[in-house]
Amino acid sequence: MSDTCICMAVRAASRSLTARYDAVLEPVGISLAQFSLLRTLSQHPPVSLTKLAESVELDRSTLGRNMRVLQRIGLVVIRPGGDLREARLSLTAAGEERLSRAVPIWQAAQDEILRRLGADGAKQLEALLGALQASEG
């Protein structure tokens, strides 16, 4: 039996990477999780809470809580949809501006990680993580 738990190793790497991205995004005032939500939302405006939850693979209640935080800080607007049970989400002008400031910072962090991994290492990592995700079903 191997002494290494694959799950714990992946979780530790994920926490380390998330902390790195969070640190570089801190001057913009958002976390990596918030950046990812803003970026996804900017690509599909306006979008229902349900569709966005499917897209980012979060349950609706967790995503709803995260969106209310972004709404409170003025980055997202939440409006009723055609069906009053469904919320429609979009970025505010402040959300678009914050995202535009965050993208080059995120890209610089991304480029540094890719540089450290090398092109082949990045492809291998993506393939390995894809294989783990595909094995869920």
Distance between CA atoms of 72 and 67, rounded to whole angstroms?
9
How much of the chain, in percent, has pLDDT values that exceed 90? 65
Does the global pTM surpass 0.75? Answer: yes
Contact 36, 55 (CB under 8 A): no
User: Is residue 21 predicted with pLDDT exceeding 90?
Assistant: yes
In this predicted structure, the answer to whether residue 22 has a pLDDT above a threshold of 60 is: yes
Asked if residues 22 and 102 have their Cβ atoms less than 8 Å apart, the reply is: no
Read off the pLDDT of residues 89-134 as tens digits, 9 standing for 90 and up: 999 999 999 999 999 999 999 999 999 999 999 999 999 988 888 7
Residue with tokens 């569709």: 51
d(CA 133, CA 27): 32
Beta carbons of 119 and 59 less than 8 angstroms apart = no
